[in-house]
Structure 1
Amino acid sequence: MATEHPAERRAPRRHPLQVAIGALGDLLFTLGVLLALLVVHSLWWTNLTADRHADLSAARLRQSWSAPAPAAPPTDAAPPPFGPGDAVGFLHAPALGAGYQVLIKVGTDGETLADGVAGAYTAPYHSAMPWEASGNFALAAHRDGHGARFHDLDRLRPGDPLVVETRDHWYVYHVDATLPETAKDDIGVIAPVPVGSPYDGPGRYITLTTCTPVYTSLYRMAVWGSLVREEPTDPDRTPPAELR
């Protein structure tokens, strides 16, 4: 009697349900890998590229500040108008870490904020610049990815200083209130007199906004502050006491 060679033995036939489960498992594994790659891109890679762009822009701005001004304006003259994408200065928040610094540009569109900066709102309310007599200097930045400049915004508390640095002045604000969560379309939080803030009339305010909770864009949070003083910069750019 001939003996069947092992190689000629047929593999047991798999049940269709087993085949379906195996295919589903392969699909879920593939989707998991793709999702992990997407997370890596959205967080790590966008942070890396945003940091590079922000560092280059910050270096260019500081270099332009070190160049002599073309003409000496009156001491009470406001800086020239800033257009979309223009760099205004820097935001410092010592409560968020020693050396914390964020470049500020005009605009909150995706392209501007993707460069790892804080953007000054131009709509639905146009942010008042710090040197203006009254208004709200309202800023937005990403909480996760694209530099995540406002990742720890929830750590700010009333009394914490916020300092805006421009070419000619330091503007020192103190945090007055925070709004942990509100709707994404709550435009009142960036109004000239922010709705829900402790302010009941015109003043010189700053508002910081970002998404919340972390790793989502379900809601918006806000931090409100008011100007307590301004100081002219000196040739050494000696920072105010809050940053020393």
Structure 2
Amino acid sequence: MRVPVVQHSTRRWRARRRRALWTGGELLVTVGVVLMLLVVHQLWWTNREARHNAQRKVQALEREWGTPGAADPTAGAVPDPETGDSGSGGDDTGTGSGTGATKNSSSPARRQGTVNSAQSRPRWSQAYAILTIPRLSLRVPVAEGVSKQNVLNKGYVGHYKGTQQPGQAGNFALAGHRNTHGEPFRYINRLKRGDTVEVETKAAVYTYVVDKTLPQTSARDSGVIRSVPRSTVRPSYGYSAPGYYITLTTCTPEYTSKYRLAVWGKLRSMRLR
């Protein structure tokens, strides 16, 4: 019977192969653990931190503004963007044939102009308003700008530079994360026509009503945040006349940033704080 002879070089080669396989396995396990920790950080920790941060900022703004006063009994109508007529029929007084009537200083149009003229331009990344969406049980700060690091990643909603401020004629356009970092706009696709969206500032509370939704468009579709919002990619979505609009934008589908989802609303009423 012949006994196989195993050379020392063969033993060394097998030992090196075993070490290489063991080392490779350890590296794969380590990489897997690191990736799992990164996923946990992105999907859980960033949400926890951002939501806590946003909640503290909302509370700070509420303390700064104090308890809001009762709603103004003459508030409720929104002036026509071209004529300035509140449409309420009983708030205007004056003389003349009608076209030259003088507006009463308590009319919604006059009061809204006073509030808007008193608003100072927010500093970059400054939180200056609170957005409330009852259907989503959402209440988050609104900050100037859409910087990821200084605004969106804090769990805030960002105001697009160059668009109008709350209550002003034109388009008050906002952006928020769909996933991670508080994900305030994760479920805005669930908003339906007639849902309310409130924007609170130090001076007033503005109530918008959801009107239209653009389910998906290009990330470069700047038309959705124009003064008269209308998609340049899908022109059948949007508006053709001036008005008092709000736009909520976020990424779609979830966990991607390839496309944008937009929800539009119209200003229904305002009340002074």
On whether the aligned pair clears a TM of 0.5, the verdict is yes
- For residue 109 of structure 1, give the secondary structure of its aligned residue in structure 2: coil
Letter in 1 for 2:33: V
User: CA separation in 2, counterparts of 1:188 and 1:42?
Assistant: 31
Q: Residue 117 of structure 1 is aligned with which of 152, 156, 177?
A: 156
Paired residues, number: 213
8 Å CA contact 1:46–1:147 kept in 2: the answer is yes
Q: CA deviation at 1:112?
A: 1.2
Q: Does 1:228 align with 2:268?
A: yes
**Structure 1 residues 21 and 162: alpha-carbon distance in aligned structure 2, compared to 1, 3 A threshold:** same
Q: Which moved more, 1:183-192 or 1:134-143?
A: 183-192
Unaligned 5+ runs, structure 2: 1-10, 68-109, 232-236
8 Å CA contact 2:224–2:238 kept in 1: the answer is no
8 Å CA contact 1:83–1:106 kept in 2: the answer is yes
8 Å CA contact 2:127–2:141 kept in 1: the answer is yes
Q: Does 1:167 align with 2:202?
A: yes
Letter in 2 for 1:175: V
Q: Residue 134 of structure 2 is aligned with which of 74, 94, 99?
A: 94
Larger radius of gyration: 2
User: CA separation in 1, counterparts of 2:130 and 2:143?
Assistant: 9
Q: CA deviation at 1:20?
A: 6.5
Q: Does 1:38 align with 2:38?
A: yes
- For residue 131 of structure 1, give the secondary structure of its aligned residue in structure 2: coil
8 Å CA contact 1:91–1:165 kept in 2: the answer is yes
RMSD: 2.6
Q: TM-score, normalised by structure 2?
A: 0.70
8 Å CA contact 1:159–1:176 kept in 2: the answer is yes
User: CA separation in 2, counterparts of 1:24 and 1:182?
Assistant: 44
- 2:51 aligns to what? 51
**Structure 1 residues 20 and 216: alpha-carbon distance in aligned structure 2, compared to 1, 3 A threshold:** farther
Q: Does 1:199 align with 2:235?
A: no
- For residue 137 of structure 1, give the secondary structure of its aligned residue in structure 2: strand
8 Å CA contact 1:176–1:198 kept in 2: the answer is no
The superposition leaves residues 26-82 of structure 1 with CA deviations (integer Å, 9 ceiling, x where unpaired) of 443332211111111112111122123222222221121129xxxxxx952422221
- 2:180 aligns to what? 145
The superposition leaves residues 100-128 of structure 1 with CA deviations (integer Å, 9 ceiling, x where unpaired) of 21111111001211111101011xxx120
Q: TM-score, normalised by structure 1?
A: 0.77
8 Å CA contact 2:195–2:210 kept in 1: the answer is yes
Percent identical residues = 42
User: CA separation in 2, counterparts of 1:87 and 1:13?
Assistant: 65
User: CA separation in 2, counterparts of 1:57 and 1:22?
Assistant: 50
Letter in 1 for 2:44: W
Letter in 2 for 1:104: V
User: CA separation in 1, counterparts of 2:18 and 2:190?
Assistant: 51
**Structure 1 residues 162 and 20: alpha-carbon distance in aligned structure 2, compared to 1, 3 A threshold:** same
Q: Which moved more, 1:137-146 or 1:86-95?
A: 86-95
- 1:214 aligns to what? 254
Q: Which moved more, 1:191-200 or 1:207-216?
A: 191-200
